[in-house]
Amino acid sequence: MTVYPPPPQEIRVPTTVTGPRAVADAVTANVEQVLRGKTEAIRLALSCLLAGGHLLIEDLPGTGKTSLAKALAASIGGTSHRIQFTPDLLPTDITGVSVWDPERRAFDFRPGPVFANVVVADEINRASPKTQSALLEVMEEDQVTIDGVAHRVPSPFLVVATQNPIDLEGTYRLPEAQLDRFLMRISLGHPDPAVEEEILTGRSRAAVPVLRPVTSPEQIDQVRRTVATIHTAPEIARYIALIADGTRHHDALRLGASTRGSLALLRAAQAHAVCAGRHFVVPDDVKATAAAVLTHRLVVAAQAEVRGVTPAAVLAEVLDSVAVPTPVVAGRT
């Protein structure tokens, strides 16, 4: 199995930021220089990265989807590639291709743009299903198989995809299998008037090209390992299981959350706890991440969809119906 690390010319910026909470705060503050007034969305995106997942940003044009992805990439100091998805894009344009070398009389693998720490898949739903499927393996297994040979992508690895939910002409809907590869789906929304005034008058503090890294890929990997050790009390695990079960038996849903969705919610809650400086998960971590983790995994029944029922509304109803666990003594890791 071939491993493709970041290229040797990559700049490694030493950082004095130590500790998971300090890393999370530093990255959040750095991204906020570009995306003002969106602290909650930035925290969710960072939690997705630290949980080892992938992020889908779905929002209207001009709301900062690509800026968030590029600012996050710049902040962690790793390699990043941006892929503009179009109908004529081929799978090999993403994963890479084997090229015949006549001198060696052998094929050489030329890595595609997917071999980076952060891959920005811009307007992912504009590519054909065949091209979209090129991301399935790498998003699940952190590797690309070409001609029977597995090639590892660098670590950490994060796909940040964007899509416009209203412009449907010339687009291809992401199938459930593709959506399930994304740990979270978030929206940004428009800035409030005060922030927009700063943008219009040029008083916003920074642009993506001038952002400096505040951490390193190695440090992000270290924080990811910490996330995996965050204590989850049995009461919290039961709380997550009841939420998932509530979606499976809701009359308005044709498809509820799977066990994979429950595991994703647990991982996201653990990462959210790390960002808050805790070594244990509390119900608020579950609530804060539930909508981003579960809504794109829920399928509304046809009759309910006609009535205007949305996955977000159903999930909110389920969260209200499930009893919140009483405070528990935090475990030790």
Per-residue H/E/C for the chain? CEECCCCCCCCCCCCCCCCHHHHHHHHHHHHHCCCCCCHHHHHHHHHHHHCCCCEEEECCCCCCHHHHHHHHHHHHCCCEEEEECCCCCCCHHHHEEEEEECCCCEEEEEECCCCCCEEEEECHHHCCHHHHHHHHHHHHHCEEEECCEEEECCCCCEEEEEECCCCCCCCCCCCHHHHCCCCEEECCCCCCHHHHHHHHCCCCCCCHHHCCCCCCHHHHHHHHHHHHCCECCHHHHHHHHHHHHHHHCCCCEEECCCHHHHHHHHHHHHHHHHHCCCCECCHHHHHHHHHHHHHHHCEECHHHHHCCCCHHHHHHHHHHHCCCCCCCCCCCC
Mean pLDDT on 127-146: 90
CATH number of 16-220: 3.40.50.300
The pTM score is 0.86
Band of residue 147 on the pLDDT scale cut at 50, 70, 90: confident
Mean pLDDT on 65-91: 88
Query: Is pLDDT of 219 > 90?
Result: yes
Q: So what's the pLDDT on residue 189?
A: 81
Query: Is pLDDT of 180 > 70?
Result: yes
Query: Is pLDDT of 9 > 80?
Result: no
Query: Is pLDDT of 14 > 80?
Result: no
Q: What tens digit of pLDDT does each residue of 233-254 get?
A: 999 999 999 999 999 999 999 9
- The CATH T-level fold of domain 229-321 is Helicase, Ruva Protein; domain 3 (1.10.8)
Q: So what's the pLDDT on residue 15?
A: 46
Query: Is pLDDT of 140 > 60?
Result: yes
Percentage of the chain lying above the pLDDT 90 cut? 56
For the chain, domain boundaries: 16-220, 229-321
